[in-house]
Amino acid sequence: MMLGFKRVLLLLVSFIMAFSLSVQASDAYAPKLDQVKTSVLDTASLQRGADIYAQYCMGCHSLKYLRVSRAARDLEWTPEEGIGHLQYLRDGKGKVHDAILTTLDAQTAKVAFGVLPPDLSLEARLRGTDWLYTFLRSYERDAQGKVSNRLFDGVAMPFVLEGLQKSLPPAAFDAAVADLVNFLDYAAEPAKPIRLMLGWWVLGFLALLFVLTYLLKKEFWRDVKHQA
């Protein structure tokens, strides 16, 4: 059966509308997240984020799927600089081909927090960058000194960025968290910068190919039209 072009178009549009409606509906009860703009192509931001990670998060959380050598290469550090930035907790025992591991042992963590701080290698894929950005900026301490998180009820993780948050103006703190989230986004997919760059090359190639095939088509049809 042949469907008319209009009918196919109508079908397509209604599919797309139904899909976007269902996406909106499933978001209806989700907490409102603050949006963050990050780019894994911004190496300076990734470097700043890695340093914040190393200083404030690595004490408890590992990135077990990311090696220091890989991170150093992508962040434009030498292997030695990579060790300096990302293995400084290991007192010179960290190797460049090791993963970025915490020095916190599981037993101590269990006693201190009741739960193990999860590995953060894939956290940005699990939660998304907006969630991470909102989570890290949702800690507060009430008058009694009790810490809570507006996004994560009853969170076992302490208010680790409290010192940083107090020492910086709000906009600078937000920017620092954005760098950190950018680094976690990179860590969740180290090939992402290359993939994005490759995407532009592919689009450029297709654009060029389009022009060439169009010229070729004109060339073929010129003869056909002349015969007619």
Told to check if 64 binds ligand HEC by CB under 6 A, we report no
The smaller minimum CB distance to ligand HEC, of residues 110 and 217, is found at: 110
Told to check if 73 binds ligand HEC by CB under 6 A, we report no
**DSSP string spanning 153-221?**
TT--S--TTHHHHHHS-HHHHHHHHHHHHHHHHHHH-TTHHHHHHHHHHHHHHHHHHHHHHHHHHHHHH
Contact call for residues 184 and 53 (beta carbons, < 8 A):
yes
Told to check if 31 binds ligand HEC by CB under 6 A, we report no
How many residues at the interface with ligand HEC, by CB under 6 A?
23
Told to check if 56 binds ligand HEC by CB under 6 A, we report yes
Position among 41, 89, 96, 155 found at the interface with ligand HEC (CB under 6 A):
155
The smaller minimum CB distance to ligand HEC, of residues 30 and 143, is found at: 30
d(CA 161, CA 155): 14
Nearest-5° Cα angle at 215, 214 to 216: 90
Told to check if 163 binds ligand HEC by CB under 6 A, we report no
Number of Cβ atoms within 10 Å of the Cβ of 24: 9
Position among 75, 83, 101, 157 found at the interface with ligand HEC (CB under 6 A):
157
The smaller minimum CB distance to ligand HEC, of residues 79 and 160, is found at: 160
For strands 139-141 and 99-100, give the pairing: unpaired
The smaller minimum CB distance to ligand HEC, of residues 52 and 75, is found at: 52
Position among 3, 16, 78, 158 found at the interface with ligand HEC (CB under 6 A):
158
d(CA 135, CA 124): 12
Q: Which residues bind ligand HEC (CB under 6 A)?
A: 56-57, 59-61, 113, 115, 117-118, 120, 123, 126-127, 132, 135-136, 155-158, 160-161, 180
